[in-house]
Structure 1
Amino acid sequence: MKKSLVALAILAAAGVASAQSSVTLFGVVDATYAHGSGSGVGSSSKSQITNSGYNSSRLGFRGTEDLGGGMSASFWLEAGVNNDNGSGANTSTNNQTTGATGGGGLTFNRRSTVSLASGMGELRLGRDYTPQFWNQTVFDPFGTNGVGTTQTLLSGLGGTTAVRASNSVGYFLPGNLGGFYGQFQHYLGENNQTGVATEDDGKGSAIRLGYANGPVNVAIATSRTKFATTATTGDIKSTNLGGSYNFGVAQLMALVTRDKVEQTANVSGKGALIGALVPLGAGQIRVAYSTYKTNAALTPKSKKWALGYVHNLSKRTALYTTIARVTNSGGASQALNGAVTAANARSTGYDFGIKHSF
């Protein structure tokens, strides 16, 4: 009898172990004092308490369940939070401007996915980062946050899916390929199919392939998002190539990007970034130079220098500051931190902030 009870207990324990699950609450609260100033006729400056100067403020829930046999199921719900005023962040329900919503209550705009994973990779459904965005943020020393964000993203022609896509089906290669990694994603605009030119708006596909091993990381991504051809809209094609090398004393980063909007008169843009992360005691120096220009009339071009420092008070809390200057030509008028600057003029901005993660 005792042997039978022991055997049952062992079997029960094995069953629990093979079906383990967990749910995690996580987030970041990042508060920033941000100032921007413009120059030239009609320019203005702006000071504000805002958020996400170093890391994006967020509140999230994620969980996973072991299904046995090397397979697992998971979910990820992550909402952007404007902690300076308590509002939620915007999202897009259909990868088009008509689907913009949010800014009031909590929306899981950053990520809302459910997935199945095994030794063959991961299948993920929902709202997620697009493959074409990953290179922009991974190879930007400022992680596409705050006043130092690369100009290849801020001036880019990538449209509503430049960062995330809703209604997507994604596949990720497994992590045991000797350093090779990859992502494929297809997303839908979910318009009624009525034969009109706009029925495929917001629909697209993208792929990213890379290699990371030791100090080396390099990846290429390309995407195409469909929009009806008009004088101001058309299919958007984006391609970028990024890489980094960690020398120990510094990690160097570089990125080149090219966009094309196939409207009635095609508009294309190209940009580049070079930067570095330099460890310094309990902190890190961040520096980057980025530029982007298009072939529109006068060839608008913006160039940005950014320099920042992060001081880690602990693994979860950091103080940071960043200063940046953007110079415009060809009719461009990019400005920093909410300021307004005249065409072909300069704009300067800086951030001071604190980040706490949990």
Structure 2
Amino acid sequence: MKKSLIALAALAASGAAMAQSSVTLFGVADATFAYGTGTVSKKTQLASGGLDGSRLGFRGVEDLGGGMSASFHLEAGLNNDDGTGGTTDTNNQGKAASGGLIFNRRSTLSLNGGFGEVRLGRDYTPHFKNLTAFDPFGTSGVGTTQTLKSSIGGPTTIRASNSIGYLLPGNLGGFYGQGQFYMGENDSNVANKKDGNGVSLRAGYANGPIDVAGAFAKTTYLLNTANGTGGNITTMNFGGKYDLGMVKILGQYSQDKVIGTGTGKGLLGGVQIPVGPAGEVRLSFSTYKVVTVGVNTPDPATNKIAAGYVHNLSKRTAVYGTFANVTNKKGAEQALNNSKTAPNKKSSGFDFGIRHSF
């Protein structure tokens, strides 16, 4: 159960009205026995995040009156297998910083009201949300969609730092949307002054059993920059989910175009099937192909099949197992669970774990 600390804070010593505030401590601990095998090497490990990413977070809100509120959200990624923290990209240019407790997953301050939400800080990019929302495995563990694992979308594929975002209010009859501008924060007198700058937009509609959304993003990089992304990156994707009751059907399409490198195109189709009151079967097929720039260059492609089962022991605790296999073609060498495989060869892996949320 989430623990909330409720406090009443005085707005002024002169006897001004009191405003209600709340702070919540929350988190996830997810331990996974993970195994991966490839033609070059195998890997056996106790890992973290096979079902949900392990994290420790704090969030709070203050009622400002008049339908407005201020809120914060600080969320640190954790590796509960060894107690270390995560890494973060401070300038959206692939230069990871690490340390102890880093709020790398999310670090935002927001102003909320009838107009929606203005959100400042490090956050998920809107174009990533389609990849995770319409993946049966929620982009966690060995079953994660190949549209993410093979993506050439660069450092802002999942999150962006130094962002200014806006989210539509939640009372628009099922329509939702988000816009985000993020900055690389480079000096104005350098050649790559715009590196890490970008914009991401997402719009969707969710009503009853239907949820569909599309997204677009563009991030600026110079050619041959140190982050290895090539030039400017343009991403578009869309996805959907339909709940039939006995089964949820999910699908997505993604495209990443990198100037000077090529164009990556991916597809996913999958299902989530409830089993009794506490279980769920997850199945997916995903594929990603990179059409590279140049004549007679290979166009690497990877196909993945994944199958998993989640059993909820309670509202907060679940056990799970996932198996996945990838097939590489035309020079691709994607491998699972940190194993290594030769180009054009297969790799397989599985996760067995337990997740506890609080």
Output the TM-score relative to the length of structure 1.
0.92
2:246 maps to what in 1?
249
Task: Say whether residues 1:211 and 2:208 are aligned partners.
Answer: no
1:198, distance to aligned residue in structure 2 (A): 1.0
Structure 1 window deviating more from structure 2 (147-156 vs 226-235): it is 226-235
| Alignment match of 2:148 (pick from 136, 148, 153) | 153
Report which of the two has the higher share of helix.
1
Amino acid at match of 2:336: L
1:72, distance to aligned residue in structure 2 (A): 0.3
2:334 maps to what in 1?
334
Task: Say whether residues 1:295 and 2:286 are aligned partners.
Answer: no
1:5 maps to what in 2?
none
Secondary structure of residue in 2 paired with 1:159: coil
For the residues of structure 2 that align with 1:50 and 1:295, how far apart are their CA atoms? 33
2:113 maps to what in 1?
118
Task: Say whether residues 1:202 and 2:196 are aligned partners.
Answer: yes
Secondary structure of residue in 1 paired with 2:155: helix
For the residues of structure 1 that align with 2:89 and 2:328, how far apart are their CA atoms? 30
The aligned runs of 1:147-296 (5 Å cut-off) are 147-194=142-189, 196-230=190-224, 233-263=230-260, 266-281=261-276, 282-296=278-292
Secondary structure of residue in 1 paired with 2:130: helix
For the residues of structure 2 that align with 1:193 and 1:208, how far apart are their CA atoms? 29
Deviations along 1:304-323, one digit per CA (max 9) or x if unpaired, are: 00000000000000000000
Larger radius of gyration, structure 1 or 2? 1
Amino acid at match of 2:80: N
The aligned runs of 1:121-132 (5 Å cut-off) are 121-132=116-127
Deviations along 1:5-31, one digit per CA (max 9) or x if unpaired, are: xxxxxxxxx944xx2110000000000
For the residues of structure 1 that align with 2:191 and 2:153, how far apart are their CA atoms? 20
The aligned runs of 1:53-64 (5 Å cut-off) are 53-64=50-61
- Number of aligned residue pairs: 337
Deviations along 1:165-218, one digit per CA (max 9) or x if unpaired, are: 000000000001000000000000000010x33111111001000000000000
2:317 maps to what in 1?
317
Unmatched 5+ stretches in structure 1: 1-13
1:83 maps to what in 2?
80
1:229, distance to aligned residue in structure 2 (A): 2.1
Structure 1 window deviating more from structure 2 (179-188 vs 224-233): it is 224-233
Deviations along 1:241-276, one digit per CA (max 9) or x if unpaired, are: 00000000000000000010012xx41110000001
For the residues of structure 2 that align with 1:293 and 1:301, how far apart are their CA atoms? 4
2:11 maps to what in 1?
none
2:45 maps to what in 1?
48
Amino acid at match of 1:163: I
Secondary structure of residue in 2 paired with 1:306: strand
| Alignment match of 1:133 (pick from 125, 128, 136) | 128
For the residues of structure 2 that align with 1:230 and 1:53, how far apart are their CA atoms? 34
